[in-house]
């Protein structure tokens, strides 16, 4: 007679789900130390259209639960594409590739999470379909599924649940908040939603809160809000076995009461939990807005967290002060040019934009960004005239490189504050080598493999690398900073840590020539002759980094590099 635990007629216990056996249809690896109910889950989905603001909502809710209520929040972004990570994605298609300290190349939403939660994340906070399926194939080849036929249910869904539970244990999280990429109805996230349905079934509905973010259309020709697309999206979600607990309605204007009631009827969600998240103008104000409309209190009630929530923390008070600074009048406007070849897609440079936006209020300034396309060299050189500062960001390949060099030359010769980032650092070296160090043919072997003056060349450890994905010099590295330099003044330390994403560097054969011509390399790798910061003494602000300081800049602690750059831009205003 079968035991009650494994009987097909009775629901198995939570612990029995951890058993990998051919005797039942379950597949779960419950991590050691994991307790059912010890971690609560929030699942954020989207419908109607992509780009509706799930990432902004998810990070803002995480901000509120973490910085205001004091919960340990661990965010996760799931992307349905089959890429292992975001490293090989074109910025035109997917925006910026964000890099974590452990070297993970990921979706730009991870950058939003780090900035809004004021904490560093890792590979455990990022999941793609490619990562899931590689894990499964590797396990199947190693015989880890004990001879079973590997299927979406229970194996794929089981690995997803295992990923979330492992994150919970590793981060000792009170709340794991999961953003499901794409929209309801997409084939590539259907199995993930099934995993979330199973998670709620296994953890208990009191431990899982589903939030669906919809978009309320308002066609200009009609002049009224239309909710039918949102209703259909909600019905599709419910058809997958997922009942939303909260519906967040994104709209340009305040939501009509009749629309709110329609959404409530179609979704089985009480009217008070149909929340209108309208445009508020500034992303940093969204956590305060969500607090005002009571989203956090509804989530706390649904998950039974009332007795565990804390009062406002000092971090949140600082956040409120920042929002107040952003709203204050009498700001000095600073015109900043961002030069590049992806300027048509502003998300390609989103971390730079955010670093500028959250640094400016501390200096009583506001940012007026001017986008400068560098594929036309002459036009780019003309468009930087009259700017208060110039940023040359990262990039790859030859297209637009000469335009960037022309912009850098203008900044150097006209004493305009200049900040070069990664590829911008390399282009600044080339501009100086050609026009000051008299190395007229100076080039990068990335652009010209046959150059006679390879001032920029591939890193030695990259010479034998064959593949593209995850093979660059990635993630956080320590650096040594020379005393008495601008870099030392900005950081206030001789040892710093920043995040990198590059294959090429300054050729060591040319370092002495560049320094003799007046360039100062003020930051470098310890025990290696890899130059990572350059500056020009006597210039108002001529500073470039091989790393990406925008990746570590946060609203409550802006990057010293961006602060120094903006201070220089404000001189004389």
Q: Which of the residues 155, 284, 502, 548 is marked catalytic?
A: 548
Q: In sequence order, what are the residues at sequence separation of 6 or more whose Cβ sits closer than 8 angstroms to the Cβ of residue 260?
A: 249, 271, 274, 276
Q: What is the pLDDT of residue 467?
A: 66
Tokens of 32: 């050691």
Q: How far apart, in whole angstroms, are the C-alpha atoms of residue 104 and residue 548? A: 14
Q: What is the pLDDT of residue 97?
A: 93
Residue 422 among the catalytic residues: yes
Q: Write out pLDDT tens, residues 536-566.
A: 999 999 999 999 999 999 999 999 999 999 9
The pTM (predicted TM-score) of the whole model is: 0.91
Q: In sequence order, what are the residues at sequence separation of 6 or more whose Cβ sits closer than 8 angstroms to the Cβ of residue 354?
A: 111, 115, 283, 550, 553
Q: Which of the residues 298, 431, 550, 569 is marked catalytic?
A: 550
Same fold? 40-318, 330-570: yes
**Whether CATH 3.40.50.300 fits 40-318:** yes
Q: How far apart, in whole angstroms, are the C-alpha atoms of residue 556 and residue 117? A: 10
Q: Write out pLDDT tens, residues 440-464.
A: 899 999 999 999 999 999 987 776 6
Residue 106 among the catalytic residues: no
Residue stretches of the chain with pLDDT short of 70? 1-23, 329-330, 463-464, 466-470
Q: What is the pLDDT of residue 16?
A: 55
Residue 402 among the catalytic residues: no
Domain 330-570: give its CATH architecture: 3-Layer(aba) Sandwich (3.40)
Encode burial over 346-364: b for 16+ CB neighbours within 10 A, e otherwise. Answer: eebbbbbbbbbbbbbbebe
Sequence spans of domains, the chain: 40-318, 330-570
Q: Which of 232, 201, 255, 187 is nearest to 43 (CA)?
A: 201
For 188-199, give the DSSP string: HHHHHHHHHHHH
Q: Which of 39, 46, 30, 104 is nearest to 73 (CA)?
A: 39
Pinpoint the alpha helices (H) of 142-227: 157-171, 187-203
Q: Which of the residues 422, 431, 502, 569 is marked catalytic?
A: 422
Parallel, antiparallel or unpaired: strands 98-99 and 105-106: antiparallel
Q: How far apart, in whole angstroms, are the C-alpha atoms of residue 506 and residue 18? A: 52
């Amino acid at each position: 007679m079968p035991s009650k635990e494994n009987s097909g007629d009775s629901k198995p216990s939570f612990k029995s789900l951890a058993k990998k056996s051919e005797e039942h249809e379950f597949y779960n690896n419950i991590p050691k130390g994991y307790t059912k109910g010890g971690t609560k889950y929030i699942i954020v989905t989207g419908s109607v259209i992509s780009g509706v603001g799930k990432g902004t909502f998810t990070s803002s809710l995480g901000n509120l639960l973490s910085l205001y209520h004091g919960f340990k929040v661990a965010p996760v972004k799931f992307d349905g594409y089959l890429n292992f990570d975001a490293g090989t994605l074109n910025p035109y298609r997917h925006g910026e590739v964000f890099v974590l300290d452990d070297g993970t190349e990921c979706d730009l939403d991870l950058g939003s999470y780090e900035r809004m939660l004021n904490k560093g994340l890792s590979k455990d906070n990022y999941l793609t379909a490619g990562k899931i399926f590689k894990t499964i194939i590797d396990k199947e080849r190693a015989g880890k599924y004990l001879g079973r036929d590997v299927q979406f249910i229970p194996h794929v869904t089981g690995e997803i649940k295992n990923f979330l539970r492992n994150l919970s244990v590793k981060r000792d999280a009170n709340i794991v908040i999961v953003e499901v990429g794409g929209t309801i109805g997409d084939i590539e996230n259907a199995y993930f939603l099934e995993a979330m349905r199973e998670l709620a079934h296994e953890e208990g509905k009191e431990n899982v809160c589903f939030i669906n973010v919809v978009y309320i259309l308002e066609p200009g020709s009609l002049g009224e809000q239309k909710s039918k697309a949102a209703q259909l999206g909600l019905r599709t979600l419910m058809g997958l076995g997922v009942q939303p607990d909260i519906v967040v309605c994104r709209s340009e204007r305040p939501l009509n009461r009749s629309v709110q009631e329609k959404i409530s009827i179609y979704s089985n969600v009480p009217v008070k939990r149909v929340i209108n998240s309208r445009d508020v103008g500034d992303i940093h104000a969204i956590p305060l807005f969500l607090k005002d409309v009571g989203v956090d209190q509804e989530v706390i009630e649904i998950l039974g967290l009332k007795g565990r929530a804390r009062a406002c923390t000092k971090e949140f008070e600082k956040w409120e002060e920042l929002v107040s600074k952003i709203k204050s009048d009498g700001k000095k406007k600073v015109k900043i040019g961002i030069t590049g070849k992806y300027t048509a897609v502003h998300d390609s440079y989103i971390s730079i934009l955010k670093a500028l936006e959250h640094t400016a209020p501390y200096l009583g300034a506001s940012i007026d960004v001017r986008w400068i396309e560098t594929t036309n060299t002459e036009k780019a050189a003309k468009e930087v005239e009259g700017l208060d500062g110039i940023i040359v960001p990262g990039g790859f390949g030859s297209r637009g490189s000469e335009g960037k060099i022309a912009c850098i030359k203008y900044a150097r010769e006209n004493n305009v504050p200049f900040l070069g980032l990664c590829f911008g650092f390399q282009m600044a070296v080339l501009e100086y080598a050609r026009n000051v160090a008299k190395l007229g043919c100076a080039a990068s072997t990335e652009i010209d493999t046959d150059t006679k003056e390879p001032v920029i060349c591939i890193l030695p450890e990259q010479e034998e690398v064959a593949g593209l994905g995850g093979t660059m010099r990635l993630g956080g590295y320590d650096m040594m900073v020379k005393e008495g330099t601008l870099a030392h003044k900005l950081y206030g330390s001789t040892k710093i840590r920043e995040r990198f994403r590059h294959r090429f560097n300054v050729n060591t054969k040319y370092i002495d020539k560049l320094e003799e011509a007046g360039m100062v390399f003020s930051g470098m790798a310890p025990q290696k002759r890899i130059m990572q910061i350059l500056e020009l003494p006597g210039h108002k602000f001529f500073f470039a980094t091989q790393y990406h300081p925008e990746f570590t800049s946060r609203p409550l602690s802006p990057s010293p590099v961006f602060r120094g750059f903006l201070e220089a831009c404000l001189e004389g205003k």
